[in-house]
Amino acid sequence: MFKHYNMNQVVLPLDLEIKIEENDIAYAVNEVVETIPNDAFTGFRRDTGCPAYHPRMMMKIILCAYTQSVFSGRKIEGLLHDSVRMMWLAQGYEPTYRTINRFRVHPEVKEILRQCFVQFRCQLVQEKQIDEEAIFIDGTKIEANANKYTFVWRKAIEKYSAKLVEKSNQMYDELLANEIIPEIERESEDELSTDELRQIAEKLDEKVEAYDKEIEAREKGSERKQLRSERKAPKQYRKRFRDFVVRKQKYQQDMEIFGERNSYSKTDHDATFMRMKDDHMRNGQLKAGYNVQLATEGQYALAYDVFPNPTDTRTFVPFLDHIEEGYFELPKYIVADAGYGSEQNYEDVLENRERTPLITYNQYRKEKKKKYRNNPFHSANWEYNEENDTFICPNGQKLTFRYISNRTDRYGYTRTFKVYECEDCSGCPLRSQCTKAKEGNNRKIYYNEKWENQKAYTRRKLSEEETGEIYGQRKIDVEPVFGFLKANLRFTRMSVRGQDNVENELGFAFMAVNLRKYTAEKTNPTLDDNNHSNQKGSNHQKLMIGTFFKSFLTVMSQPLFVIQKNNPVRQELSNHSYMLLILLFN
């Protein structure tokens, strides 16, 4: 006996919401988009032409698709025909992939995404998912949608540009020496500008045309042959100077694209070549990518930004400015790893923002080791006489203060050093172990008092129980978000080009990570612990266990494929049944 089944019977259409399960991620997507103020959508209004799809609907379908690890415009269009949750969010509309792709790179979408993050954070605060005590900052590199081998390097352009300047000056001097063209008025004696090169090429063109007319006017073959021979040199110079004009313009354009960077991709000019962890050729090859900075709390992405420079140190201050301008007021504690520890960053947080930086520095771990503390040749371990302002070396010699040294880096930040020099290192039995200075020179110490005070402040703060626990949460707060993004969501490469478009796509991706985690915790509140494990003073072991289970729930919040032996079958499993499978197989 079978249940009644008839394909020829008319079935009345029902409300698609009935087909969606309770606590489905579609409800979270709908809820967060509906909280965006109406003013954020005014940029999409048009008074003429065909009425556009509502931007709320477009936001919902793209966000929902990203939560399902679908990033292609064509595949998103396919989901609108197949997925019940997508049909419900679109309310029967079926925008094409072109419309979807145009929308997600629209300039106004950036503001909508910002509002989306702001409203989502307010919701987390109201539900006490986060306590606004600290933010955790880290960065990762994501590969750009660009060819791996179409790169341009600043050093190469500078080298070829210098050769062009040298060659063009040399050839111009030859033209004047041979009296082929008259002297032109120059802006600089060091370099011929693009207009000046073009002017020389035009004068050579006039010279060649004069030769052409004269050759046509002559009747004797010997005279014509002689004129052709004289015309040969101006023609060759004209060809070279025309080439100089094109190359000069290209090099100038390349330098404009570089900005402060050292490389760029021909496919995506905003992408910079960086060293990625994923090295498919196993030779340390660089790839075109973007440096993504993220601020989190409770494993939720609260703010993000994209930078072209590969190092994190230079991104810290502009990223904090970006957070304050567009997202939220900075909390009391700002937590980051040693990649952000620098004198400028500490100064900015302590003096300009009046916050507490819980940021280590490069030598923090090394300085805590016994081997470093017991090394008598490290100046940090030397005796210091504050009254006389002198250091005492291992041989008992005094290093007295000599002068102040100011060093300014290429970004304009100035560091002040007090220089101490030993009285006499000649004949010292420990000289080879103490210094690498040449014979006749004495051991010097460059002491940055401000930097040493900042390091002492950091060591003191991290040794305190309260702030030490907050810093200990860093690796289990911000790192899992990148893991969810790359491993669970499988977002490892951009689908769009250009920094503005990349920022939009990352906004969709990070919000998709947030919604998957939020839905998983809402579906299984018992694993979240009533005391909120992300708050200070919680047990570190509980945090690690909670992070482990939450990672499983984030993956398992969506339908899964289970491959049975010799029989691939698609099955939708609940979280509890999947956990039971894990226990059975283990």
pLDDT for position 537:
43
- For residue range 289-333, what is the model confidence (pLDDT) as tens digits? 999 999 999 999 999 999 998 889 999 999 999 999 999 999 999
pLDDT for position 13:
66
Residues 6+ apart with CB under 8 A from 464: none
Mean pLDDT of 7-24: 80
pLDDT for position 560:
42
Mean pLDDT for the chain overall: 86
Mean pLDDT of 210-237: 88
Mean pLDDT of 471-483: 93
Give yes or no for residue 579 having a pLDDT over 70. Answer: no
Pairwise CA distance, residues 484 & 517, whole Å: 9
pTM: 0.83
How does residue 581 score in pLDDT terms, banded at 50, 70 and 90? very low
Structure tokens belonging to residue 174: 């030859």
The total number of residues written for the chain in this structure: 586
Residues 6+ apart with CB under 8 A from 375: 381
pLDDT for position 377:
87
Own/partner pairs for 113-116, CB < 8 Å, 24+ apart?
113/504, 113/507, 113/508, 113/511, 114/326, 114/327, 114/507, 115/36, 115/37, 115/40, 116/32, 116/33, 116/35, 116/36, 116/59, 116/507, 116/511
Mean pLDDT of 432-450: 87
Query: Distances from the Cα of 4 to the Cαs of 9, 13, 19, 27, 557, in angstroms?
Result: 11, 18, 20, 32, 32
Residue with the bigger pLDDT between 14 and 233: it is 233
Pairwise CA distance, residues 226 & 229, whole Å: 5
Q: Which residues of 316-349 are buried (b: 16+ CB within 10 A; e: fewer)?
A: bbebbebbeeebbebbebbbbbebbbbbbbbbbb
- For residue range 91-129, what is the model confidence (pLDDT) as tens digits? 989 999 999 999 999 999 999 999 999 999 999 999 999
